Structure 1
Amino acid sequence: MDDDVVPAGGGSRSLKTAATVLRALRLLGDHPGGLCAADLAAELGKSAATARYMINTLCEAGYAERDGSGRCRLSDAPPWGSWGAPAEAEADPGSPVPGDPDPGAILAEATTELYRRTRQRSYLVRRTGTVVATVTDTRGHQGLAKHPGLGTHVPPSHAHALALTKVLLATSAEYVEAVDEEGEPLERLTDSSLTDLAALRAELDEVRRRGVALDREEFAAGFATIAAPVVSPSGSATVALGLSCSARRLALDEDELVDAVRAVAARASAQWAGEIGARPVGMPPARPNETVERGEALLSGFSAPRR
């Protein structure tokens, strides 16, 4: 396992990962003609899989770009503007999929609509790197249980155990390639966690077929999650919309909850593509004295997955 894999809890390995990313940026700056993944891996003393994940993440985040030959070089300007220039205003994150139109408030409205329909805590997760997943929005009323252990960043080593990230992993050929190459066991978070690689691949195939993912106490005992992709106009699926609930609620109302997640995600995809108006309809009204909590986080990470 590479040193750059970040386990739950972060700690010194998180700092080691950050130092490796800074080294990678410095190396790209020293090689204006660019570096391929093999070159970067050799310079950093890391595996080719780690170098590919790092390059993918740097490019997706706007710090680097690929040329026609596939070599990676430092971009002319980082996401916040010119290198070294002070930021005059906070940058608008824009579309989570480069080249697609900005979804505006569509994704936030979808998260709220899912909560209103199900009364379960709802989440929006974006893939900010190849398998680096960030919880960018949450909805739920005060007192509604939050999913244990789910913060603003889902460590790649935990992505196999959560429906919100299973949806994203199902769209990532790079993840499957890395699993085949590295072959490390999946981490057991609970007694129900899936730890067999062949079984995970089969489940991801099923997620692609059904368009929805579930976890039944795989991430946290007593809790479950359901998620579906929000597909961008170009067909990319780097955004997942879903909810968390008690395992008991899932057992009682699985069909109803799955249908709600599918419907709201499909509507958000259609709104993003401009096929229907962006104003959500059919949401149940708020209950008396109910205050909807909103949570947002804009974090990203640079780490290869621990499989």
Structure 2
Amino acid sequence: MSALTQRPDVATGERYVIPNLRNACRILKLLGRHPEGLKVADLARMLKVPVTTTLRITTTLHLEGFVRKQDGRFKPGPMLIQLGSAALAATEVRVLALPLLQKLTAITDETSHLAVPCDERSLIVAVQDSAHPLRAASRPGFLAELHCSSTGKVFLAFLHQRDIPGILTREPPTRHTSNTMVDLREIQREADLTRERGFSLDNEEFNAGVRCLAAPVFSADGSVVAALGITASTLRFSLDRIPEISTKVRAVATELSQLIGYNGSA
């Protein structure tokens, strides 16, 4: 889209963009998706930015505490934890969800969690552990892939249903277990099923022996702003419990939706 055809607000905003500041933001986003860390050459190649420019940016971020360097690779730094914690604490939906996560854990006896959409991923923002904690349960700050997580499937189904091919092209789905769906048509069918029944299921698709179920949280305008769900061992969360668990998760997700202004008619 040319500057002549852009919306006025977009064109005006782009006029004030600082290219290397934008590149610094893109570097931080990439590091968030690669917890193993990335070398300067990797970052330059992925962003299509000169290595010398990338080195200057990462050096500055390192000095300011936004990244750390380990074994020649850059990783997210301690300053991001501080900023992330402050952002999470100020998130209204998270604050309202905390007592409801406690309720969901109490009525299911399983670990519950809340996620929000973030750059074509699912960001876990709150977790309420059960008496049966799982090492595989994601912690706050974890960015889950959309195709293989229950909260991610909610966002695929309700936010990205028209752009699933594009998302999978930009980031090809990774197969984590023998159950992981990586075929476009299969993922699209799963998104259709999620919208139809009102909840999503991660059936041992990210971790073997772990089953997750999530439901959408709607805002006042009817858009999906979060997903609420549970994580459990398949030994406790058997397939025949899906009707029971889905009813409980959807009921609590509806409570949260109502708290943020959704009346079911948007």
Partner of 2:67: none
How far did 1:222 drift?
0.5
Partner of 2:232: 245
Contiguous gaps of at least 5 residues in structure 2: 1-26, 50-82
Q: 2:222 is matched by which residue type in structure 1?
A: G
Partner of 1:107: 97
Partner of 1:166: 153
Partner of 1:273: 261
Contact 2:149–2:206 (Cα < 8 Å) also in 1: yes
Contact 1:190–1:221 (Cα < 8 Å) also in 2: yes
Partner of 2:122: 133
Relative distance call for 1:170 and 1:153 in structure 2 (3 A) is: farther
1:186 equivalenced with 2:181 (yes/no): no
How far did 1:135 drift?
1.2
Partner of 1:226: 213
SS at match of 1:134: strand
Relative distance call for 1:210 and 1:221 in structure 2 (3 A) is: same
Summarize deviations over 1:197-252 as a string: whole Å, max 9, x none. 11101111111121100011101000100000111112221211000112232324
SS at match of 1:238: strand
What TM-score comes out, normalization by structure 1 length? Answer: 0.55
Relative distance call for 1:15 and 1:155 in structure 2 (3 A) is: farther
Contiguous gaps of at least 5 residues in structure 1: 21-40, 47-86, 96-101, 276-307
Contact 2:124–2:143 (Cα < 8 Å) also in 1: no
1:9 equivalenced with 2:9 (yes/no): no
Summarize deviations over 1:93-131 as a string: whole Å, max 9, x none. 545xxxxxx45842112211110110100001111x332
SS at match of 2:113: strand
How far did 1:159 drift?
2.3
Number of aligned residue pairs: give it.
200
Contact 2:115–2:125 (Cα < 8 Å) also in 1: yes
Partner of 2:249: 261
SS at match of 1:242: strand
Relative distance call for 1:190 and 1:272 in structure 2 (3 A) is: same
Summarize deviations over 1:20-52 as a string: whole Å, max 9, x none. 9xxxxxxxxxxxxxxxxxxxx9xx648xxxxxx
SS at match of 2:154: helix
Identify the structure with bigger relative contact order (alpha carbons < 8 Å, sequence gap 6+): 1
Q: 2:206 is matched by which residue type in structure 1?
A: F
SS at match of 2:101: helix
Provide the aligned C-alpha RMSD in A. Answer: 3.5
